[in-house]
Amino acid sequence: MLKVVGGSSAKHIAFEVAKELNTEYIMVNTRKFPDGEKYIRILDDHIKGNSYAVIQSMYRTPDEYLMEYFFITNVLKTHGAEKIISFIPYFPYARQDTEFNPGEPISFKIIANLIENAGTDILYTFDPHLHRIKSLSDLFTIKAQNISLIPMIVRYINNNYNLKDAIIIGPDEESEQWTQMAANEIEIEYDILQKVRHGDYDIELKPRNLEVLNRDIILIDDIISTGKTMAETIKVLKDQGANKILAAASHLLLIGDALINLYRAGADVIIGSDSIPSPVSQVKCAPLIAEILKKM
């Protein structure tokens, strides 16, 4: 039997997954001891022989959520869980994937090892911030798969907003993988911004191939953190005559005043998934997770 467990960061997702699968949602009691140590207790008297989908997103306080995840998976394995299928919608420490300076940890690899050693059998994550490591199989010995939320997000936009002569734009070359994916999903044009140098101190940002004048824009990236890059991109597109701008990303960290700054820059709509809960996290991860589990 498959049961669903949600860590503190993803109870809303886990409960929706269990409801969609018509299976049991297992509660986890969590609290902190006076010295700050984490206590957990899984409220399931029949662990042995069952499989578990464990859902925990590692945003904003990743160390705390990681420790909770390790405890949950280890308890399940220790008590005889047959298989643990883990979903980490927002994967932490992916930026530190090499030793940039002597004495630094390769955090991405260390976290991958800890997740495996805790008892994880299969891992799914959504749009991790991959740079030099191109595939999760380079880090994990267990089955580990990256699935993009971008197709689901751009379908949501296409179905809910009446866009005029729309084009998908990425803020830089790194975003092209997501803009191309989004464009293929809803069959419209895409482009990315590039720097055009007119002199030593005169640099212009403009789309590589397409004009944006009087066109609606779906602006795509994997993550909006401080929002500075996205805000600058929105200003550039507005200056070049873009009509409506919808800024979208898989993960919305929205640190500080990022959300209001995006609106001030000229964004009409901001959309992301609920991998990180926010006022604009309109696209739910639960249906995608349920679909993966059904196929398994």
- 151 near 290, Cβ under 8 Å? no
| Torsion, Cα of 164, 165, 171, 174 (10° steps) | 130
CB 153 within 8 A of CB 272: yes
User: Would you say how long the chain is, in residues?
Assistant: 296
Closest to 290 in 3D by CA, of 5, 97, 18, 35:
18
List active site positions. 195
Given a contact cutoff of 8 angstroms between Cβ atoms, the answer to whether 255 and 224 are in contact is no
User: Do the beta carbons of residue 108 and residue 132 sit within 8 Å?
Assistant: no
